[in-house]
Amino acid sequence: MSLITRSELKEKLDRKDDFKLAMALSEWAFRAKHIPGSLNVDTPDAAVELLDPDDEIVVYCSHDTCTASRYAMMALEKAGYGNVRRYAGGIADWEEAGYPLDGEWSDEPSETNAWPLS
């Protein structure tokens, strides 16, 4: 399993590298909190719709023992996606470092991710 560290991911985002960052948790979890620039890939259908087999892809979920990103990575690789890495630390590791998050439960939610409750 090919892993990417928090610092490697942060550097890729800071450089604005061309890759897809995919959160492998439910829409509810995505709306609550995610790494900025992430796509919500919570089902195999969503993966096929949002990701191309030639894309460089980084998948993550909530924390290092969460299985969603492991499953997503294995499913993508089995489907022929050749350049997939897993950020094992997930949201918990990212937040622990003090890096920014988007979503309704982040300190500064993005307006594009706000979900009207009324």
DSSP 111: G
Question: Phi then psi for 115, rounded to 5 degrees?
Answer: -115, 115
Q: Is residue 116 part of a domain?
A: no
pLDDT digits (tens, 9 = 90+) for 8-17: 999 999 999 9
DSSP state letter for 112: G
How many domains are there within the chain? 1
On whether residue 34 sits in a domain, the answer given is yes
CATH of the domain at 65: 3.40.250.10
Q: What's this model's pTM, rounded to 2 decimal places?
A: 0.88
SS3 58: strand
Reported as a single tens digit per residue, the pLDDT across 33-76 is 999 999 999 998 899 899 999 999 999 999 999 999 999 999 99
- As a 3-state breakdown, the chain gives helix, strand, coil percent values, each rounded to 5, of 35, 15, 50
The DSSP call for residue 51 is -
Range of the domain at 62: 6-104
